[in-house]
Chains A and B, each alone.
Chain A
Amino acid sequence: MRVLGCLDGTNAEQIGYAAQMFTTAEPLTIGLLTVIDVGPRKDIDRMRERFWRPPMQHQPLTGQMLAAETAAAHETLNAGLAYAKGAETLLRQGRPELEIVNTASEWAADVILIGARAEYGEPPHVGPRSVGHVARFVLDHAPCPVLLLRPLAREQFPINR
């Protein structure tokens, strides 16, 4: 079985534990994917266009941006490896939602593990808009089953009926 875990920089532990659920499957290959989002760079280019400037690619800061993105991506993958030892790591660059579904297809994933949305220290959110745009896109477009991972939020229950 080929399990593809999607790391967003905040969910390494969650993905690692979810991947352990598949340990009975033989043979098991775990892939850890992280995507360098090019969206912010495109936004900066659009902003530059508004001020009649050429795209960022030839600017001195571009190198720093790439270095910071790459370092963050490697750190994310290493954090994932701490919970899923021996996993295959995959680093992509582009729109995360597109890269995840395309990688799942190329890598022949049998199941995708994805967090509902990146969590930056806030309490788990239950309710409308609790699934981010990346997870929503993956649910709609994945070439295989998707396991949506949500943080434990039992203290927020029961929901009023």
Chain B
Amino acid sequence: MTRPFRWSESRIAMGGAAGLLLLGLIRPADAARTLLRDWNTFLFFIGMMGLSAMAETAGLFDWLAVQAARLAHRSAARLFLNVFLLGTAISMIFSNDATALILTPVVYVLVTRLRLPVLPYMFACTFIADSASFLLPISNPINIIVMSRYPLTLFTFLRLFLLPSLLVIAINIGIFYLLYRAQLKGSFNLEQLPAAEMAVQHRGYFRYTLWVLALVAPSYVIAAAFQFPLSVVAMAGALLLLMGALFWKRTTLAEAGKGISWPIFGFIAGMFVVVRAIEDTGLTIKLGNLLLHLSGGTSFGAVMVGTFGAALGTNLINNVPMSVVMNSSLASVQHAAPAVRNGFVAATIFGCDLGPNLTTVGSLATILWLLILRQRDVEVSGLDYFKVGVLVTPVMLFVGAMAIWLLL
């Protein structure tokens, strides 16, 4: 949470895991078993990041952004809607990671070229990344982490999340239109846009990328329907794109490796081991029992307590650690009624996916720091995200949670 001396989270998590092993608080065999059990999560992260990085190399995101602008027919408001729709599609297929990290700067470049106000469009990208991240199991790695422990069939996932997703996306778009309606009244000059073809650096590789993605998207759905590990599909897609990129000399292995955030694996591995050791102390079971107690043993309570508890936790310790903690805690609700159990699992996915929108550009600790800066009279744009997040996220969480409860 505080990251002393600016140490990276992965170093802290790995250090914690190493300390537990050295002190004998967790047996090496248990630690190894924990990590091997979650192979699907690790592989999915590699595949997901690889797919996004290779698609970026092909210029796909730039091309899509230019198309979104062309289809907006010079209207700033229509471009705003198109950015939301594009973000939704990218989150759905590539995961929220791609929308937040790749689409946001692409859209920033686009609207800067078009001389439009930057912030509304950046907000649209960063918020829709999470708001659209429970449309499919692959739309957020959190879904994979939770479902590795508590599997849901594709039918159950869609039954529980499709309608809430659409509601949350609609609320997100609606509130943002209200907030930024004044800034979106203008129009833009299409001549300031580069031709869509300019985004495509190599036509052959670009077409190949489209074909591979056209193969990967339905494969995800089929794999999810048959509960086949989604990481295998993501990895296969990433490898196919990598081979194409190497064939057309669009990248090198070293370059492609840079597209993967390797420290995240140290962080997740460390977190898995630390939480496994905490499990042995009974602390996570106590947290699970507390959640169950607070829910009053009802499905409504389970969804509400799970959603808002997970959402709050994601803003304190980031969503990946929170989902790991919740995974462990939910072991103690497995003896509850099926509706309560499913309510907690769905709420964990929903709260951990959408919760980060409260403090989009960081944790609560970051926001506190930004507030301190603000008191020194320095205008901090990160705080703008917080103000918008505080306004829109509780509404989305409540409406989405209500819909999930009704669909349980």
- Asked if A92 is at the interface of the complex by the 8 Å CB criterion, the answer is no
- Asked if B113 is at the interface of the complex by the 8 Å CB criterion, the answer is yes
- Asked if B318 is at the interface of the complex by the 8 Å CB criterion, the answer is yes
Chain B, residue nearest A45 (CB): B361
- Asked if A85 is at the interface of the complex by the 8 Å CB criterion, the answer is no
In the complex, chain B residues whose CB is within 8 Å of the CB of A51: 97, 100-101, 261, 264
Which of B101, B186, B264, B360 has the largest count of A CB atoms less than 10 A from its CB? B101
Given known pairs A39-B381, A40-B122, the reply for A65 and B109 (CB within 8 Å) is yes
Given known pairs A52-B264, A53-B261, the reply for A69 and B97 (CB within 8 Å) is no
Size band of the interface chain A makes with B: 35 or more
**Within residues 69 to 118 of chain A, which ones have a CB less than 8 A from any CB in chain B?**
69, 71-72, 75, 95, 97-98, 118
- Asked if A68 is at the interface of the complex by the 8 Å CB criterion, the answer is yes
Kindly count the residue-residue contacts between A and B in the assembled complex, taking CB atoms under 8 Å apart.
107
Contact B100 A95 (CB under 8 A): no
**Within residues 98 to 149 of chain B, which ones have a CB less than 8 A from any CB in chain A?**
100-102, 104-106, 108-109, 112-113, 115-119, 122, 126
Contact B100 A47 (CB under 8 A): yes
Contact A40 B108 (CB under 8 A): yes
- Asked if B191 is at the interface of the complex by the 8 Å CB criterion, the answer is no
- Asked if A144 is at the interface of the complex by the 8 Å CB criterion, the answer is no
- Give the complex CA separation of A98 and B378 in angstroms: 8
- Asked if A154 is at the interface of the complex by the 8 Å CB criterion, the answer is no
- Asked if A155 is at the interface of the complex by the 8 Å CB criterion, the answer is no
Whole-angstrom distance from the CB of B53 to the nearest CB of chain A?
10
- Asked if B187 is at the interface of the complex by the 8 Å CB criterion, the answer is yes
Cβ-neighbour of A72 out of B56, B113, B183 (below 8 A): B113
- Asked if A134 is at the interface of the complex by the 8 Å CB criterion, the answer is yes
Contact A121 B104 (CB under 8 A): no
Whole-angstrom distance from the CB of A148 to the nearest CB of chain B?
17
Whole-angstrom distance from the CB of B132 to the nearest CB of chain A?
16
Contact A120 B361 (CB under 8 A): no
- Asked if B263 is at the interface of the complex by the 8 Å CB criterion, the answer is yes
- Asked if B185 is at the interface of the complex by the 8 Å CB criterion, the answer is yes
- Asked if B364 is at the interface of the complex by the 8 Å CB criterion, the answer is no
- Asked if B385 is at the interface of the complex by the 8 Å CB criterion, the answer is yes
Chain B, residue nearest A133 (CB): B379
Q: Secondary structure of the B side of the interface?
A: helix
In the complex, chain A residues whose CB is within 8 Å of the CB of B76: 120-121
Whole-angstrom distance from the CB of B259 to the nearest CB of chain A?
10
Contact B118 A61 (CB under 8 A): no
- Asked if B267 is at the interface of the complex by the 8 Å CB criterion, the answer is yes
In the complex, chain B residues whose CB is within 8 Å of the CB of A44: 104-105, 108, 122
Contact A46 B379 (CB under 8 A): no
In the complex, chain B residues whose CB is within 8 Å of the CB of A95: 378-379
- Give the complex CA separation of A9 and B184 in angstroms: 15
Contact B379 A64 (CB under 8 A): no
Whole-angstrom distance from the CB of A58 to the nearest CB of chain B?
8
In the complex, chain A residues whose CB is within 8 Å of the CB of B356: 50
In the complex, chain A residues whose CB is within 8 Å of the CB of B385: 43
- Asked if B229 is at the interface of the complex by the 8 Å CB criterion, the answer is no
- Asked if B15 is at the interface of the complex by the 8 Å CB criterion, the answer is no
In the complex, chain B residues whose CB is within 8 Å of the CB of A56: 105
Given known pairs A51-B100, A56-B105, A125-B182, the reply for A40 and B117 (CB within 8 Å) is no
Chain A, residue nearest B118 (CB): A40
- Give the complex CA separation of A64 and B109 in angstroms: 7
- Give the complex CA separation of A51 and B76 in angstroms: 29
Given known pairs A40-B118, A53-B101, the reply for A120 and B112 (CB within 8 Å) is no
- Asked if B309 is at the interface of the complex by the 8 Å CB criterion, the answer is no
- Asked if A122 is at the interface of the complex by the 8 Å CB criterion, the answer is yes
- Asked if B10 is at the interface of the complex by the 8 Å CB criterion, the answer is yes
Interface 1/0s, chain B 163-183, versus A by CB < 8 A?
000000000000000000011
In the complex, chain A residues whose CB is within 8 Å of the CB of B106: 61
- Give the complex CA separation of A75 and B191 in angstroms: 14
**Within residues 15 to 47 of chain A, which ones have a CB less than 8 A from any CB in chain B?**
37, 39-40, 42-44, 46-47
Contact B115 A43 (CB under 8 A): no
Contact B379 A134 (CB under 8 A): yes
Cβ-neighbour of B105 out of A46, A65, A97, A140 (below 8 A): A65
Contact B100 A118 (CB under 8 A): no
In the complex, chain A residues whose CB is within 8 Å of the CB of B353: none
**Could you list some 10 contacts between A and B, CB below 8 A?**
A40-B119, A40-B381, A47-B361, A50-B362, A52-B267, A68-B113, A97-B379, A122-B186, A137-B377, A141-B377
Can you list the 8 inter-chain pairs with the closest CB atoms, starting with the nearest?
A121-B186, A39-B381, A46-B361, A122-B182, A68-B112, A121-B185, A52-B264, A61-B105
